Amino acid sequence: MKVSGFFFNNLKLLTVYVLKFGGTSVGSAERIKEVAKLINDGNRNFVVLSAMSGTTNALVEISEYLYKKDSEGANKKISALEAKFLVTVEELFNTEEYKKKGAELVKNHINHIRSFTLDMFTQYEEKEILAQGEMVSTAFMQYHLEESGIKSVLLSALDFMRTTKFGEPDDNYIKENLTKLINEHTDVPLFITQGYICRNANGMIDNLKRGGSDYSASIIGAALMVKEIQIWTDIDGVHTNDPRVVEDTHAIAELSFDEAAELAYFGAKILHPTCVLPAKRENIPVRIKNTLDPEAYGTLISGNQKKETVKAIAAKDGITAIKIKSGRMLMAHGFLRKVFEIFETYKTSIDMITTSEVGVSVTIDDTSRLMEIVEDLGNYGTVTVDTDQVIVCIVGDLIAESKGVAAKVFKALENIPLRMISYGGSNHNISMLVNAKDKKEALVALSKGLFND
């Protein structure tokens, strides 16, 4: 019998979910225990875990030392990470058997990381090192469930999660191999696996970049056609504004896929932008939940479109604006194509675009190739660069067709200099570029002007 993409014989296990927990949710022994209670809820759950909070950063630092061939510095960081893991082992497990298994697990992974200190170190070795964080956190969870008498299976993401030669998820491979693995355990209610990590088309260990655990969960949910994908974090949903900057924000009950994608891309840190895409393709709802307040409704993201005006405001930091001014642009065919080809050459994405008869302005958030881009653009006109900018984005359903919304936005920001404005390119957002020093004032003013009721 096929139910929501799973094949199994136990008819009691009909409701299937994917549950993803981020680094803070599994950041300590106590948090791991709380997550174990949440996932053991009587449903058939596929659980995706990030590395424990701080672990990936530590592994990145270790890799940086190895690139510099600084074995002493690397070993100090490795020892600190080992100590952190061993504290978790002591606090997580109750029996000597599992304390021993946990310590042995840590020893094996730490020794594997240390083995790179004497070898030639490349990006391939770095990706293998970065994978150790998720491997440890999922093994800790599996051992804790075993010790608690809860039936579960630990599946390695490296056995089913693969990308194509273009770096995109290999959907057919993932679905085929994931289904095969699950069908070997038809009576198991819980599956544990790693987020973020995968293999590339050549079979080497790779990853889905930062935020990739959200992406892993969505890819798995789409492959299995589950009832719902749940992203568990430490906040009770997507908020109307950034709660770190603006007071009196609240969680939004419902968002459409398009609205959620806009918010994620333009700065709402709670959800990774790529997470929405596989779920939207298969029309599988995504729910944001709070591990610290499991009973809270959270935010439900689905294909439902509610004709409401403004839903939320987000801000994307670290933006650089580039302006190309040229008399040759006037009535010149192909000018914009030449400009955009430069950004394509240096694999740099553009966020916002505005044009006039004599110039074009764009924004980017990746400045790793900025010097080369500016040099090439100089062949077509005068180039100016403004750094330390912020994109402020107002998101809602059919916002471009809502009467009076733009007037309210610009009224709220009347005292704040606007470097760029993008309106009409999407039915779901209005974006403005402001100086970073004006970010807080802009977000507060927009909340008062748009959510005053």
| Residue 203 CB burial class (10 angstroms; 0-12, 13-18, ≥19) | exposed
pLDDT tops 70 at residue 189 = yes
**Do 229 and 98 share a structural domain?**
yes
Lowest mean per-residue pLDDT among 371-375, 396-400, 406-410: 396-400
pLDDT at 451: 85
Lowest mean per-residue pLDDT among 12-26, 278-292, 321-335, 409-423: 321-335
pLDDT tops 50 at residue 9 = no
pLDDT tops 70 at residue 331 = no
* Domain stop point among 218, 234, 250: 234
| Amino acid residing at 390 | V
Does a structural domain hold residue 255? Answer: no
Angstrom distances, CA of residue 291 to CA of 35, 233, 287, 410, 443: 7, 6, 13, 37, 27
Q: What six digits make up the tokens of 314?
A: 């987000």
Average pLDDT over the chain reads 89
Q: How many domains does the chain have?
A: 2
Does a structural domain hold residue 269? Answer: no
Angstrom distances, CA of residue 105 to CA of 72, 89, 98, 443, 447: 23, 10, 10, 47, 49
Q: What six digits make up the tokens of 336?
A: 């914009």
**Rounded to an integer, what distance in angstroms lies between the CA atom of residue 325 and that of residue 323?**
6
pLDDT at 359: 84
400 confidence band (pLDDT: 50, 70, 90) = low
pLDDT at 2: 39
pLDDT (tens digit per residue) in 231-290: 998 888 989 998 888 988 989 999 999 888 888 888 766 777 788 889 999 999 999 999
- CB of 296 closer than 8 Å to CB of 251: yes
pLDDT at 336: 84
Most confident of the following: 97-106, 249-258, 328-337, 425-434: 97-106
**Rounded to an integer, what distance in angstroms lies between the CA atom of residue 274 and that of residue 195?**
13
Judged by DSSP in three states, 171 sits in helix
DSSP-derived secondary structure letter, 51: P
pLDDT at 14: 43
DSSP-derived secondary structure letter, 306: -
pLDDT tops 70 at residue 434 = yes
- CB of 385 closer than 8 Å to CB of 322: yes
**Do 8 and 144 share a structural domain?**
yes
pLDDT tops 80 at residue 401 = no
pLDDT tops 90 at residue 15 = no
- CB of 276 closer than 8 Å to CB of 260: yes
pLDDT at 357: 76
Using a pLDDT cut of 70, give the percent of the chain over it.
92
**Do 190 and 71 share a structural domain?**
yes
* Domain stop point among 234, 266, 283: 234
CATH number of the domain residue 362 falls in: 3.30.2130.10
**Do 317 and 227 share a structural domain?**
no
Does a structural domain hold residue 115? Answer: yes
Does a structural domain hold residue 302? Answer: no
pLDDT (tens digit per residue) in 101-131: 999 999 999 999 999 876 688 999 999 999 9
* Domain stop point among 181, 215, 234: 234
Does a structural domain hold residue 265? Answer: no
**Do 143 and 24 share a structural domain?**
yes
pLDDT tops 60 at residue 362 = yes
**Rounded to an integer, what distance in angstroms lies between the CA atom of residue 240 and that of residue 158?**
37
Quick count: other Cβ atoms within 10 Å of Cβ 388? Answer: 12
Which residue range is the domain that position 49 belongs to? 2-234
pLDDT at 333: 72
Angstrom distances, CA of residue 430 to CA of 137, 254, 393, 447: 40, 20, 6, 14
pLDDT tops 70 at residue 10 = no
Judged by DSSP in three states, 333 sits in coil
Average pLDDT of the segment spanning 157-172? 94
356 versus 389: the higher-pLDDT residue is: 389
> pTM value?
0.87
Average pLDDT of the segment spanning 74-90? 97
Helices (H) and strands (E) in the chain, counts: 14, 18
Average pLDDT of the segment spanning 27-50? 96
Parallel, antiparallel, or unpaired: how do β-strands 420-423 and 382-396 relate? Answer: unpaired
pLDDT at 148: 97
pLDDT (tens digit per residue) in 437-453: 999 999 999 999 888 75
Does a structural domain hold residue 326? Answer: yes
CATH number of the domain residue 77 falls in: 3.40.1160.10
- CB of 152 closer than 8 Å to CB of 189: yes
Does a structural domain hold residue 297? Answer: no
Does a structural domain hold residue 316? Answer: yes
- CB of 18 closer than 8 Å to CB of 226: yes
pLDDT (tens digit per residue) in 190-215: 999 999 999 999 999 999 976 689 99
pLDDT at 372: 96
1 confidence band (pLDDT: 50, 70, 90) = very low
pLDDT tops 90 at residue 156 = yes
Judged by DSSP in three states, 21 sits in strand
pLDDT tops 60 at residue 11 = no
Average pLDDT of the segment spanning 224-235? 92
- CB of 310 closer than 8 Å to CB of 394: yes
State whether the Cα torsion 241-245-248-253 is positive or negative: positive
